Amino acid sequence: EKMLFEKKIENDILPALKNDCIKTYIQPKVDMRTGRIVGGEALVRWQREDGSMVYPDEFIPVIEKNGYVLDVDDYMWDKVCYYIKQLEKEGKTPVPISINVSRMHVYQEDFIDRIKKITSKYDINPKLIPLEITESAFTSEESSLYRKIKSLQDCGYRFSMDDFGSGSSLGMLKDEHVDEVKIDKTFVDDIATDKGRILLKNVIQMIRALGIDMIAEGVETKEQADFLVNNGCIYAQGFYYYRPMP
Ligand code: C2E
Ligand code: CA
Ligand code: CA
């Protein structure tokens, strides 16, 4: 059953891209002190012809195996840059909208060119599309990833370490590769326990002392939001504030 499911995803993904079945959702990021929207994250959705939705946790891991994730990411980046440009044309001041960068890109020699091509196509400031890379990607292929990150940072792009706390890349926080850390939902959930609170409080303190920006993911309750703000993490993304929206 699993093999059939994966095969179907493999067969259907490129036609889905072509037929506009791949949708760009955005989840706002807020300043918890004021509720003001300070940014967003682009999240992919796949709407099947019958109206049903396929979630990225189901299909991204499958298309990461065969490389089609590169096509999906390119598509998402393009949509986000187009949207930002559209806002600018309407005379609005857009907030940054982060894009997800699959670990697969880390291995691609043309990763840097692909990113640059899209921002120059729409002529937008690289700061408006922070790049989120999951923490676990940093543990493999480190040196080539660092090189690519550095070269993009020199051109004004920002990097956010996604899912922080789910892998084990503490060491790399001391280098200059990370502009922002996204504290994983598991940390936020753990404020329910004494030890969880100690851990989260000290993680926040450490990131602050290192001078790295931070945002908490998966904030679902007022209690979590209050704890984070009281301990010095003021930005969040989570259902308590907004769900991803088309
Ligand atoms: P992620 O990058 O960690 O994205 C955050 C996920 O947490 C999203 O799930 C979002 O809907 C969910 N979330 C946000 N707030 C809450 C909350 O308060 N509670 C709970 N329970 N969940 C919350 P989503 O959209 O299903 O995406 C899952 C993962 O799929 C993403 O995790 C990311 O790793 C990957 N993904 C999504 N879009 C893309 C994309 O365009 N390209 C690539 N390469 N990966 C993507
Ligand atoms: Ca992300
Ligand atoms: Ca995350």
What are the φ/ψ torsions at residue 198 (nearest 5 degrees)? Answer: -60, -45
* Ligand 1 nearest-atom number relative to CA 134: 34
User: pLDDT digits over 127-151, tens only?
Assistant: 999 999 988 887 766 678 888 999 9
- pTM here is 0.95
User: pLDDT digits over 205-225, tens only?
Assistant: 999 999 999 999 999 999 999
Q: For residues 69 and 101, what is the distance between their CA atoms, to the nearest angstrom? A: 9
Mutate which of 9, 22, 26, 43 for ligand 1 pocket (most atoms within 8 A of beta carbon): 43
User: pLDDT digits over 178-192, tens only?
Assistant: 899 999 999 999 999
Residue 78 in contact with ligand 1 by CB distance below 6 A? no
Q: For residues 58 and 64, what is the distance between their CA atoms, to the nearest angstrom? A: 11
* Ligand 1 nearest-atom number relative to CA 240: 18
